Amino acid sequence: MVAVAVFSEVTLFASRWVVWSDDSRYPLFPETAESQVLKEEVGKNGRVTSIIHPVTHMATTPFIPNTLSAYGIATIYGYDSILPNGMSLIADRTKDPAILGHYGVSHLITWPGNPDVPAGWQLIWESPLMQLFANPTVVPRYAGFRDQAALTSFLQTDERGGYVAVQETLGYENRRELKVQNISWLRVAENYSPGWEFSTGSNWQPVERASDGTMILSLGDKATEVSMRYRPPLRAQGFAISGISLAACFGMFLVSLRRSKSARLPTP
């Protein structure tokens, strides 16, 4: 009964006091020249990092970490970013384009006139509010390898070749679809989690953790389509616990109802 009362309060009564704006007339995240160029240059498959101003911090830095998610652009500061060996984010330790490129960082954002941009970044766009640099050494988020030797060489050396770029055909945070051709291994530049699984047919298999903390998939020699899904183990346990709790509450309600009826029966 308490749950029903709370649900009714939130959905029927309290919702009437919430003022909703018209997104078509007053968008919460309006487009600017800076956001438009980021969509065009970075897109869905890229990833950005930022250099924060040492004195004025967020007041001068364009697009502080995680604010780009509203525009569908990934950052190295996002939850899917790489945490090598469980340590702090690599973007907090270095802005070297070669190192960040290994983890799929394709662009760098900073304020105009920043003198501390490391060598190797290429300026491709600027405005009075922002400078955008491209990373010529970036590795695609999805990199395919013909054999395990090529993958091992990529992970253990600074060699940036030996792979082919793979594009998503369907991309959600917990579900991916990819087309592949002539590869047997796929490396995904995202943080490994035991909840990720993949399939090239009907059977689902867990992804593997690479030495750099990314995800690797052993596809076999005949794969043409790859499906990925994210099913965190704790989520299934949470659903089970919630279901058991709900069943227990319902059972207690029935027992209480039966006892109340028995108490009201007239005595002979």
Report d(CA 156, CA 71) in Å as an integer.
Answer: 35
Report d(CA 143, CA 159) in Å as an integer.
Answer: 13
Nearest to 169 by CA among 46, 38, 45: 45
What pLDDT is recorded for position 88? 44
User: What is the token pair recorded at 45?
Assistant: 């498959």
Quickly state the pLDDT bin for 183 (edges 50, 70, 90).
Answer: very high
Report d(CA 112, CA 100) in Å as an integer.
Answer: 21
Report d(CA 5, CA 9) in Å as an integer.
Answer: 6
Neighbours of 192 (CB within 10 A): 18
Report d(CA 146, CA 152) in Å as an integer.
Answer: 11
Pairing of strands 47-50, 107-110: parallel
- Which residues, listed in sequence order, are joined to residue 142 by a DSSP beta bridge? 188
| Residue 123 near residue 133 (C-beta atoms within 8 A) | yes
User: What is the token pair recorded at 6?
Assistant: 């709370």
Pairing of strands 107-110, 131-134: antiparallel
pLDDT tens-place string over residues 102-149: 888 999 999 999 999 999 999 999 999 999 999 999 999 999 999 999
Q: How far apart are the first and last CA of the chain?
A: 33
pLDDT tens-place string over residues 244-265: 877 888 888 788 777 776 666 5
Please compute the mean of the pLDDT values over residues 193-204 and round it to a whole number: 90
Q: Output phi, psi for 71, to 5 deg.
A: -105, 10
